[in-house]
Amino acid sequence: MLMEKERRLIAEYGRKLVEYNLTRGTSGNLSIFNRDEKLIAISPSGMDYFKIEPEDIVIIDINGNIVEGHRKPSTEIEMHRIFYERREDINAIIHTHAMYSTVIACLNLSLPPVHYMLASAGMDVRCAEYATFGTRNLAENAYKAMEGRKAVLLANHGLLTGGRDIKEAFSITEEVEYCAELYYRAKSIGEPRIIPNKEMELMLEKFKSYGQ
């Protein structure tokens, strides 16, 4: 079985998305790119995350052709491929319909740095222009809006994050959703004070050495 380690990680983190209330039902998708093999392991389309086993994960090449797997791959293949083609710093992608991030995305707003933890994703999280799900247009819009960042809101759709590995992509998903909830709640009682660019630039530097 090709990419067995990556398949197990996708099955594991798919369940974590539901357990951590970062998605619901069968919505969202995950993938991991093996740069040495030029192969992508991606979650199957429309399956219950708690029923997905490693053998249900689909292996595709960088052009989107199925290499191994008996399931239909996620409809968002293009939105994963474009980052693996163009971003050397991204080897894993997570797409969710996390509640607060999606609320902000439905307003077609970007998420400003209301909390320093947003630095895990970048200076802020832009909102990409709307496009139909599963299309190359959506992939191009997401790529453009995520320039210089590791997260992007998808207008009227959800959240997309990328990381050097699936662990980082998941962590960024958590932090962006947390900051989106803070922003939502702060706006409900007043106007939140946004962290200045100079301070966020400092946070970006500090986050380069954050963690173990």
Say if residues 198 and 136 touch (Cβ distance below 8 Å): no
Tell me what pLDDT residue 211 has: 57
Statement: residue 62 has pLDDT above 90: yes
Catalytic residues: 76
Tell me what pLDDT residue 181 has: 98
88 within a domain of the structure (yes/no): yes
Span 11-35, average pLDDT: 95
Helix (H) or strand (E) holding 93: strand 92-96
Reported residue count of the chain is 212
The pTM (predicted TM-score) of the whole model is 0.95
Q: Which domain holds residue 193?
A: 4-207
CA nearest neighbour of 163 among 97, 111, 89, 76:
89
Give pLDDT tens digits for 101-116.
999 999 999 999 999 9
170 within a domain of the structure (yes/no): yes
State how far the Cα of 96 lies from the Cα of 41, in Å rounded to an integer: 17
CATH number at residue 104: 3.40.225.10
Give pLDDT tens digits for 152-186.
999 999 999 999 999 999 999 999 999 999 999 99
135 within a domain of the structure (yes/no): yes
Statement: residue 6 has pLDDT above 90: yes
Structural domains of the chain, count: 1
Statement: residue 212 has pLDDT above 70: no
CA nearest neighbour of 92 among 1, 147, 168:
168
Query: What confidence tier does 9 reach under pLDDT thresholds 50, 70, 90?
Result: very high
212 within a domain of the structure (yes/no): no
